[in-house]
Amino acid sequence: MIFLATPAKTMTTNTLAKLFQHGDRKNQFDSLILHPMRIFRLYPLFLILLLPLACKKQDSCSPDPRITSREISLELIRLDAAFQDAEDARSIQRILEEHPEFTTLFFGLDALNQTQELAESLFDLHQDAIFKPLDEALAAEFGDITALEKELTEAFQHFTHYFPQEKLPRLYFINSGFAADFILDEDIIIIGLEYFLPEESGFAPPELPYYIRKRYAPAYLVPNLMTALSTRFNATQPEDRTLLAEMIYYGKAYHFTKTLLPCTPDSLIIGYTADEVAASYANERYIWSFFVEQDLFFETNPFIIRKYTGEAPNTDEISPDAPGRLGRWLGWNIVDDFQIKEGLDLETLMAEPRADHVFRASGYRPRE
C-alpha cells in the first residue's frame, strides 16, 4: 500500500486516483469506428518482430549527460539495518530520537513522547523468531545497494531538472513488516524494502493476487516509487468522474515516471510483461476502436470504469489475452502525444487538470 502524507492526513494513492465528474458528453469519433475482435491471438509474427525492436531501442538508450552530470546530495538512511543490528532497546530509542521526522510519520504524532516503550517493542520484534528471517532476507538482498543508489540518484537528478524549485526528500529504508511499501511526505520518503524482495526469498506481500504481487520485485522499486511520487504533482478536476479522467490521470503518472527514468522499460513502469507491451502496441488500433465503438471515454459508471483501469489480470471485455488496465495504457499514449504536440515541460504537463483538454488537444490516433 502506497501512502502520501499531507499536513492534514495520510492517503493511499488509490484514494488520490479517484474517479472524476465529467462535463457534457460529446462523441466526435463516429468516422473512426472499427470493429474490434478478439485480437490478442492474431499477431504472433508481428509480436516476434516487435520484441527485438523494443530491445534494441532499450539497449541503445543512454540518459542525457546534461541531467546526469548534475550534482545532487541524495540522503539514504538504512533504518532496516540499524534496527536489525541494534544491541538493545536503548540503541533503537536513540535512533528514533535522532530521526524525529521518520518517527512521527511512520508511528504517529505522539510517538516521540513514547520512544522508550516503542523502542522496547521494536527490539523485541526484531528478535522474534518469525520476524528475524525477514530481516535476514533483507540483509542478503539489499546488503549492498550500490546499484539501487545509482538508479535512485539518476531518477532524482531528472526530478531536480524538471522540478528545480523542489527540494530533495530524505529516503528512509525500513523493514515495515509489510505495513507499507511507500509513505511519502514533502521532506521524507519511507520505503518498505521487504515489499521488493525477489520471489525466491520466500517472502511476499500478503493477500495480494499474483498478477499484482509479481510487480513487487527489486526491479520495480524505483519505477513504483517515481509513480507514487507523481501523485504530488498530478493535478485533476475532482468534479470529473469519467473513464477518460481516470485514463489521463494514470497516463500522466506513467509519463512522469518515464521522464524521470527514460531508459527504464515500459514494462517495469506499467507492470506488463515485455510480450504484453508489444502485443498492446500491435493491437493499438483495435484497442482504440473498441473504446470508441463502446462509447467509453465519457462513461461515469464506476463498475465499468474499473473494468478498464482497475487492477485485474486481463481486460476480458477486449480479449481474454489482453492485459489488465488497458485504459491506463491507452491514457499513457494519449498523454505522450499531448506532451509532444504541445511541447510542454513536465511540471506544466502535470499541472494540467483538464482530462478532456488533454485528450482533444493531443490529436491522438493509433499508430499504423
Question: Sorting pLDDT into bands at 50, 70 and 90, what band is 362?
Answer: very high
In a domain, 5, yes or no: no
Quick one: 45 and 103 in the same domain?
no
Quick one: 121 and 160 in the same domain?
yes
What is the predicted pLDDT for the residue at 309?
Answer: 98
Quick one: 216 and 240 in the same domain?
no
**Cβ atoms 173, 180 nearer than 8 A:** no
Picking from 232, 262, 295, the residue at the C-terminal end of a domain is 232
Q: Are strands 10-12 and 2-5 parallel, antiparallel or unpaired?
A: antiparallel
In a domain, 218, yes or no: yes
Quick one: 215 and 313 in the same domain?
no
In a domain, 316, yes or no: yes
Dist CA 211 CA 273 (whole Å): 11
Residues in the chain: 368
* Average pLDDT across the chain, whole number: 87
What is the predicted pLDDT for the residue at 61?
Answer: 87
pLDDT at 85 over 50: yes
Nearest Cα residue to 356 out of 28, 32, 31, 36: 28
Q: Say how many domains are in the chain.
A: 2
- What average pLDDT does range 114-138 have in this prediction? 96
- What average pLDDT does range 154-176 have in this prediction? 97
State which residues form the domain around 138. 66-232
In a domain, 39, yes or no: yes
What is the predicted pLDDT for the residue at 47?
Answer: 42
For residue 277, what is the enclosing H or E element? helix 274-282
Nearest Cα residue to 349 out of 260, 281, 263: 260
- What average pLDDT does range 76-97 have in this prediction? 97
pLDDT at 1 over 50: no
Measured in degrees and rounded to the nearest 5, phi and psi for residue 137 equal: -65, -40
Quick one: 54 and 73 in the same domain?
no
Quick one: 44 and 107 in the same domain?
no
**Cβ atoms 176, 197 nearer than 8 A:** no
pLDDT digits (tens, 9 = 90+) for 2-58: 444 433 333 333 322 222 223 332 332 232 223 333 334 434 433 433 444 344 344
What is the predicted pLDDT for the residue at 54?
Answer: 43
What is the predicted pLDDT for the residue at 60?
Answer: 66
Quick one: 90 and 172 in the same domain?
yes
The proportion of the chain whose per-residue pLDDT surpasses 90, expressed as a percent, equals: 82
In a domain, 314, yes or no: yes
Q: At what angle do helices 243-260 and 355-362 cross, to 10 degrees?
A: 70
In a domain, 115, yes or no: yes
Quick one: 258 and 286 in the same domain?
yes
CB atoms near residue 31 (< 10 Å): 6
Quick one: 167 and 244 in the same domain?
no
In a domain, 340, yes or no: yes
Picking from 208, 232, 256, the residue at the C-terminal end of a domain is 232
pLDDT digits (tens, 9 = 90+) for 279-325: 999 999 999 999 999 999 999 999 999 999 999 999 999 999 999 99
**Cβ atoms 231, 4 nearer than 8 A:** yes
Quick one: 87 and 161 in the same domain?
yes
Question: Sorting pLDDT into bands at 50, 70 and 90, what band is 63?
Answer: confident
- What average pLDDT does range 178-200 have in this prediction? 97
Quick one: 114 and 22 in the same domain?
no
What is the predicted pLDDT for the residue at 367?
Answer: 84
Determine the 3-state secondary structure of 242 from DSSP.
Answer: coil
Quick one: 197 and 255 in the same domain?
no
Q: Are strands 188-192 and 182-184 parallel, antiparallel or unpaired?
A: antiparallel
In a domain, 12, yes or no: no
Picking from 198, 232, 266, the residue at the C-terminal end of a domain is 232
